[in-house]
């Protein structure tokens, strides 16, 4: 019988954040299934105030994670500055001691931001570094006008991305193109590189959640044509362009058209954004729902949008929402060059790809969605569902993690 092999997993997110719930924990459960009996997974989360966890919740979380031998290691979040630096020094020291005491030999990091402490800990302990969700963040922050290219933040993160890339033994990226990016930008080449998109729970997002009659009545969507968007506006996502698209759709479909926004934005913000695009905000239903309610709500829609800003580094992303839309059989409007998804949508004719951000492009996209919805809706949903199964099923992740951690078990 193989000896237990313990792993440290680093994230830059809070435990309640959807990025932990949907983009981390499902994969840790798969990793657990590939480790020898008795192996522990130490999970680092950085807790922001708006995701605060009570003592009672801590106990419930620990009880839940214990099923997969996951030990939650949480630390407070501090924004950029000297407090942040001191906080990260403390985190690295505590985790270094945890690794030494438990003989942790693998550090598995989700995203390059969380790779900063992972790289240091791998260096200090000699542990194998595994980089997951591998995509650019430093250049993405510049492209989104969050940072200046000559800023300390950019230079530090870009330098650390280069160091991580050269040290990592295993690299899991959302797209195959990231391998060429790493070669060009970081002068890094990989022996063990694989593609692992953001997968979707096909049982949770199933046809059972499509067009539930009671919810259609509750939200006034009976006999309406509904567009859904699940996510934030601004930052890495478009904002004004989204409402301009909605205005074009409303002009095209008239009073039949409705919008469902599953977003944390306040109603006042949404109404202001709608006003700037001369859109009647009364056709918008907005709410921030727990993730377990999202399938039922998303299933009320006829199509979805994925308004990721089409900046160069987004060629390497894998929007979670696309997998969820597809699993529910929804066609999608998306800008061009967004991960592999824009190409998939164009290749299989399951939505509309925006070649540019203009009113003319929005109108063409709306007409394409209308054409799709005028056809056999049952066949369309089944076709799109098959795309989700092929390109976003968890069987992809299961194979990738088995290939990495089967070596740990021998």
What pLDDT is stored for residue 132 in this prediction? 96
pTM for the full predicted model = 0.91
Matching residue, tokens 């039922």: 296
User: Residue 347: enclosing H or E segment and its boundaries?
Assistant: helix 341-348
Record the tokens describing residue 77, joined without a space: 């979040």
Measured in whole angstroms, how far is the alpha carbon of residue 342 from the centre of its chain? 16
Q: What is the CATH number of domain 207-392?
A: 3.40.50.2000
Q: pLDDT digit string (tens) for 210-233?
A: 999 999 999 999 999 999 999 999
Distance CA 141, CA 136 (A): 9
φ, ψ (nearest 5 deg) of residue 336? -70, 160
Q: pLDDT digit string (tens) for 294-312?
A: 999 999 999 999 999 999 9
What pLDDT is stored for residue 87 in this prediction? 87
Any idea where the domains of the chain sit in the sequence?
Answer: 7-199+394-409, 207-392
Does residue 1 surpass a pLDDT of 70?
no
For residue 247, what pLDDT band results from cuts at 50, 70 and 90?
very high
For residue 352, what pLDDT band results from cuts at 50, 70 and 90?
very high
* CA-to-CA separations, 148 to 12, 113, 137, 236, 363, in angstroms, rounded: 21, 17, 13, 15, 35
Contact 23, 198 (CB under 8 A): yes
What pLDDT is stored for residue 375 in this prediction? 93
Q: What's the CA dihedral at 116, 120, 123, 125 to 10 degrees?
A: -120
Q: How many CB atoms lie within 10 A of CB 382?
A: 12
Q: Please check whether the domain covering 7-199+394-409 is classified as CATH 3.10.20.740.
A: no
CB contact set of 56 (below 8 Å; sequence gap of 6+): none
For residue 135, what pLDDT band results from cuts at 50, 70 and 90?
very high
Q: Report the percentage of the chain scoring pLDDT > 70.
A: 99
Q: pLDDT digit string (tens) for 145-185?
A: 889 999 988 998 999 999 999 999 999 999 999 999 999 99
Does residue 260 surpass a pLDDT of 90?
yes
Q: Tell me whether the CATH fold assigned to 7-199+394-409 matches the one assigned to 207-392.
A: yes
């Amino acid at each position: 019988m193989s000896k237990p092999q313990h792993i440290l997993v680093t994230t830059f997110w809070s435990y309640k954040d959807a990025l932990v719930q949907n983009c981390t924990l499902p994969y840790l459960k798969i990793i657990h299934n590939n480790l020898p009996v008795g192996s522990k997974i130490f999970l680092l989360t950085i807790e922001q105030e708006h995701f605060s966890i009570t003592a009672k919740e801590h106990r419930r979380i620990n009880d839940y994670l214990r099923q997969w031998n996951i030990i939650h290691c949480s630390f407070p979040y501090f924004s950029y500055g000297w407090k942040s630096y001191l906080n990260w020094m403390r985190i690295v020291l505590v985790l270094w001691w945890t690794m030494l005491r438990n003989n942790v030999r693998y550090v598995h990091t989700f995203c390059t931001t969380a790779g900063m402490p992972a790289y240091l800990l791998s260096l200090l302990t000699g542990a194998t570094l595994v980089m997951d969700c591998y995509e650019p963040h430093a250049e993405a922050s510049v492209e989104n006008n969050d940072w200046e290219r000559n800023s300390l933040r950019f230079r530090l993160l870009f330098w650390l991305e280069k160091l991580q890339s050269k040290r990592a033994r295993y690299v899991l990226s959302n797209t195959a193109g990231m391998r060429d990016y790493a070669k060009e930008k970081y002068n890094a080449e990989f022996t063990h590189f694989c593609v692992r998109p953001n997968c979707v729970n096909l049982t949770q997002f199933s046809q059972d959640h499509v067009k539930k009659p009671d919810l259609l009545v509750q939200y006034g969507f009976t006999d309406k044509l509904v567009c859904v968007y699940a996510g934030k506006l601004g930052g890495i996502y478009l904002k004004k362009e989204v409402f301009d698209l909605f205005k074009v759709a409303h002009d095209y479909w008239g009073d039949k058209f409705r919008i469902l926004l599953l977003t944390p934005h306040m109603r006042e913000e949404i109404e202001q954004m709608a006003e700037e695009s001369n859109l009647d905000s009364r056709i918008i239903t907005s709410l921030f729902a727990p993730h377990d309610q999202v399938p039922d709500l998303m299933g009320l829609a006829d199509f979805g949008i994925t308004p990721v800003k089409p900046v160069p580094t987004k060629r390497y992303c894998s929007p979670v929402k696309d997998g969820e839309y597809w699993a529910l059989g929804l066609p999608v409007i998306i800008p061009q060059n967004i991960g592999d998804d824009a190409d998939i949508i164009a290749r299989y004719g399951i939505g509309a790809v925006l070649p540019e951000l203009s009113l003319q492009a929005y109108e063409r996209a709306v007409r394409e969605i209308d054409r799709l919805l005028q056809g056999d809706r049952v066949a369309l949903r089944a076709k799109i569902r098959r795309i989700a199964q092929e390109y976003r099923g968890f069987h992809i992740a299961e194979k990738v993690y088995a290939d990495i951690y089967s070596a740990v078990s021998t």
